[in-house]
């Protein structure tokens, strides 16, 4: 019987996201600076069993191949012929539909765990090929914590380490559909009174081309960005990925609690929030 193996699956932020154009395969070419958030992660547990099973602490999580963990298991088995029954439990801490890559990270963690469980010793290149088949963002989670990501998300190049950056993440109760965000990109327009210009720092810039289509449909997110940029102690604010998480770069981490309290009072009392740091 296989002993229980636990692995973590960190969230990610898109510090920058440029959409370069629509591809013939229906995806979009991007250029993005992505960073993992090890302080915010899901946890997966794998245990040998008499038959396959999947459970999750969050309601409404599917147990078929629409769940990227199950799809990763299926692709790994097809490629390796390793069919040992497993009981998998997913503890969700990263919000769904948030632009934080929770499902993609879960899939990457599953591939790493299965390689370890079965002792298959798959190369990084082979794991990345499986990951790219499963979903666009997944190869990032098999590499370094900071990377420049291109193509439809399958090209990952290690980027220089970041200085320590204090962050605050805020997410409303609704999520955003990634396909809809990209689908609306080409014809989207800027809303008056909202800043979309790159926000420049010594380490790079904050900019996201998907803010245009997402803000057009979800005006609340545009107002969240405007509100964050007006807060004392906020050096920059942006939507991560296709949303709905908005994040702020903080001048001082000690101001996070104050901003969270104000956001729940002024914007939405049910906002999900997380504060932490990335970089060295």
HSE-CB of 197 using CA atoms within 13 angstroms: 7
C-alpha to C-alpha distance for 82 and 40, rounded to whole angstroms: 31
Of the residues 12, 71, 171, 225, only one is catalytic, namely 12
Distances (CA, A) of 113 to 85, 116, 188, 196: 14, 5, 41, 40
* CB-count exposure of residue 250 (10 Å: 0-12, 13-18, 19+): buried
> How many residues would you count in the chain?
280
Query: Which residue in 42, 106, 115, 137 is the catalytic one?
Result: 137
The torsion region of residue 5 among left (phi > 0), alpha (psi -120 to 50) and beta comes to beta
Annotated active-site residue 137? The verdict is: yes
Q: Which residue numbers are catalytic?
A: 12, 137
């Amino acid at each position: 019987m296989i002993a229980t193996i636990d692995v973590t699956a960190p969230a990610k932020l898109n510090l920058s996201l440029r959409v370069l154009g629509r591809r013939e395969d229906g995806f979009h070419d991007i250029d993005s600076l992505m960073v993992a958030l090890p302080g915010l992660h899901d946890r997966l547990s794998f245990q040998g069993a008499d038959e396959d099973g999947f459970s999750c602490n969050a309601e409404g999580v599917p147990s078929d191949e629409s769940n990227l963990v199950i799809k990763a298991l299926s692709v790994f088995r097809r490629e390796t012929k390793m069919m040992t029954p497993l009981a998998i439990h997913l503890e969700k801490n990263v919000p769904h539909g948030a632009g934080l890559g929770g499902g993609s990270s879960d899939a990457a963690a599953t591939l790493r765990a299965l390689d370890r469980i079965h002792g298959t010793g798959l190369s990084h290149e082979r794991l990345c090929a499986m990951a790219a088949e499963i979903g666009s963002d997944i190869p990032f989670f098999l590499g370094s914590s900071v990377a420049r990501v291109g193509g439809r998300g399958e090209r990952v190049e290690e980027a220089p380490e970041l200085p320590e950056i204090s962050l605050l993440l805020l997410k409303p109760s609704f999520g955003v559909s990634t396909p809809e965000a990209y689908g609306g990109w080409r014809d989207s327009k800027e809303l008056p009174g909202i800043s979309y210009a790159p926000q420049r720092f010594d380490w790079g810039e904050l900019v996201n081309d998907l803010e245009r289509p997402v803000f057009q449909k979800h005006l609340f997110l545009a107002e969240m960005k405007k509100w964050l940029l007006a807060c004392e102690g906020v050096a920059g604010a942006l939507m991560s990925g296709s949303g709905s998480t908005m994040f702020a770069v903080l001048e001082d981490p000690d101001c996070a609690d104050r901003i969270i309290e104000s956001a729940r009072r002024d914007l939405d009392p049910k906002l999900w929030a997380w504060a932490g740091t990335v970089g060295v």
